[in-house]
Chain A
Amino acid sequence: MAQRRTAWTRLTTPFANIPAGTATTLALAMWVVVIGGWAFLSYGRVVPNMFLPTPGTVLETTYRMSLDGSLFYHTLTSAKVVILGFIVSSLIAVPLGLWMGTYRAVQAPLEPLVNFIRYLPVTSFVPLFILWIGIGIEQRIAVIFFGTFFQQLVMISDCARSVSRDLVNASYTLGTKRSEAVWHVIFPAALPSILDTLRVTMGWAWTYLVVAELVAASSGLGYISLKAMRGFQVDVIFMAIAAIGLLGLITDTAFRILRARVAPWAP
């Protein structure tokens, strides 16, 4: 009895650690519940298959589209759009954000503007982008860029601003010049939180994918979802959603590994 009580106490204690096995079991149980619920609703015809496909049909469709290469093709197109948009955005947001967080003179003009723009819905700019950039891949990349850049800028500038003042002061007393402080102290000190910001905003970039492929795309996971909607192919929509989720999970893990490699000192 005592054994059971301690296990229960541990599970219900705030912030207490639980055994790794228990954690894995709980994680698996969650998926069993979700997929089980789905199977129950679809196989049991609680929801008509026209609206909710069975797990079997989705797997079948995935298998079929993997064989003819179309799944790979559309996934690649989408990944290209998201990753290019994300890279272009990050390449500008990281240095500019560092500057913004470091120098009040950069922050003062930029912050009001950025805070105005970042609350505008990305979708409202799609017609403009089409007029300005056309309907090529650049337009889709622009949507991803627009969705992530301004968020990244604000978050990275916060990362820079939260670097300890005494760390910078200490570097001055060791011979660092004012102009060197950004590169030699503020950037490395903020690096772990910058990488965390990139990981989080990478997730947001994926969420803009369907918006980006909403108009004038001829390939991509968002595009096949929209096409499938017109043909009532719910199984394809499910597959596309799962693929986007999986890709997100992969990039997220990649960023975690990158952070452990690049900033091994950070907890």
Chain B
Amino acid sequence: MGTLILNASSQTAAGPRVVMTETVKANNSGGMASANARAAGTTMAIEDVTLRYGDVNGVLALDDVSLKVAKNEFCVIVGPSGCGKSSLLYLAAGLNDATSGSIKVDGREVIEPGPDRGMVFQSYTLFPWLTVRANIEYGPKRKGLPAEQRRQIVDQYLNEVGLAPFADHYPAQLSGGMKQRVAIARALANDPAVLLMDEPFGALDSQTRGTMQKLLLRVWERQQKTVLFVTHDIDEALVLGDRVLVMTARPGKIKAEIKVDIPRPRSMDVILEPDFIALKRRILGLLHDEIDEDH
């Protein structure tokens, strides 16, 4: 109970130590007992998922991927471009169908997209015809919440991402970083069981990216959300994550799992600390093996 089942390939990974962590971090043991009914606090369970494009001879994008994300955990998948990490997120969102395997959120099988799995995309996906306020209000409105309650939710998340003064602006009037802040607020306004983030800061300059990471951590710590975050940036993965899953390319498999024991709240200076650098070296090693195998 509570141990992560790793697939065969990651257990045989020779070099770096593969950590068999408990899925439930010892965050609040009180929740543990009541969570028994829900597979020990597991919010999202991806089991033996395979994704093949086209027919039987098509490209194998994901090969037997299994992972679990615990409630309120910040889980990061890091991997080279084209390893299928974004595809995995689209499957989790229900935007695409796996060739085989199952994905469950709070025990329910994912069969189509829904507001319980909020997603922040790498490309800017704010509705350009709606103001910032109306963009955040979109989900609660679809849910049919009354106007007063919607207003409260919107105000709360506008403040959370620090964009209250821009409530009546259109997305075209915002910078890239601001757009992604609204996108995060918009996804959170639905109070999703899990927040899926597909390289949300990938298109931003490095300074803005740092600011956004700090903001995301602050929001996550306050709101207590379950996050599955995909990136190719190792620093980003280690600054944000409780746990980092390293993915291999063609076919996409989870090669190793690394628990990030760096205490929170983390400052951005954490990247200079020896513990951080040691973890980074390990992930780099794993990814380099990957690149060497390609040649």
Question: A and B: partners?
Answer: yes
Does the CB pair B143–A175 fall under 8 Å? Answer: yes
Q: Which of A170, A175, A263, A265 contacts B125 (CB 8 A)?
A: A170
A interface majority secondary structure = helix
Contact of A164 with B143 at beta-carbon distance under 8 Å, contacts A173-B118, A191-B129, A265-B170 already known: no
The interface residues of chain A lying within 8 Å CB-to-CB of B128 are 189, 265-266
Distance of A185 Cα from B123 Cα, bound (Å): 16
The interface residues of chain B lying within 8 Å CB-to-CB of A172 are 93-95, 112-114
Does the CB pair A173–B117 fall under 8 Å? Answer: yes
Distance of A176 Cα from B127 Cα, bound (Å): 13
Contact of A173 with B119 at beta-carbon distance under 8 Å, contacts A265-B170, A265-B172 already known: yes
The interface residues of chain A lying within 8 Å CB-to-CB of B94 are 172
Count of A residues near B, CB < 8 Å?
21
Q: Which of B127, B143, B172 contacts A267 (CB 8 A)?
A: B172
Does the CB pair B121–A174 fall under 8 Å? Answer: no
Does the CB pair B170–A174 fall under 8 Å? Answer: no
Does the CB pair A174–B129 fall under 8 Å? Answer: no
Distance of A172 Cα from B190 Cα, bound (Å): 12
Distance of A156 Cα from B142 Cα, bound (Å): 27
Shortest distance in angstroms between A220's beta carbon and chain B's nearest beta carbon?
A: 39
Does the CB pair A164–B170 fall under 8 Å? Answer: no
Distance of A180 Cα from B115 Cα, bound (Å): 14
A136 at interface, CB cutoff 8 A: no
Shortest distance in angstroms between B79's beta carbon and chain A's nearest beta carbon?
A: 20
Count of B residues near A, CB < 8 Å?
29
Contact of A169 with B95 at beta-carbon distance under 8 Å, contacts A185-B127, A265-B129 already known: yes
Does the CB pair B121–A166 fall under 8 Å? Answer: yes
Does the CB pair B119–A175 fall under 8 Å? Answer: no
Closest to A178 in B: B112
Contact of A188 with B172 at beta-carbon distance under 8 Å, contacts A173-B119, A174-B139 already known: no
Closest to B195 in A: A173
The interface residues of chain A lying within 8 Å CB-to-CB of B119 are 169-170, 173
Does the CB pair A174–B123 fall under 8 Å? Answer: no
A216 at interface, CB cutoff 8 A: no
Chain B positions within 8 Å of A, measured between CB atoms, are 90, 93-95, 112-115, 117-119, 121, 123, 125, 127-129, 138-139, 142-143, 170-172, 183, 186-187, 190, 196
Sample of 17 more A-B contacts, CB < 8 Å, known A173-B187, A263-B129, A267-B172: A166-B123, A167-B125, A169-B119, A169-B121, A170-B183, A171-B138, A172-B93, A172-B95, A172-B112, A172-B114, A173-B93, A173-B118, A173-B119, A174-B186, A189-B128, A266-B128, A266-B129
Chain A positions within 8 Å of B, measured between CB atoms, are 164, 166-167, 169-176, 180, 185, 188-189, 191, 263-267
What are 26 A-B pairs with beta-carbon distances under 8 A?
A: A164-B125, A166-B121, A166-B125, A167-B125, A170-B119, A170-B183, A171-B138, A172-B95, A172-B112, A172-B113, A173-B114, A173-B115, A173-B117, A174-B115, A174-B139, A174-B187, A174-B190, A175-B114, A176-B142, A180-B142, A188-B127, A188-B129, A189-B127, A265-B170, A266-B129, A266-B172
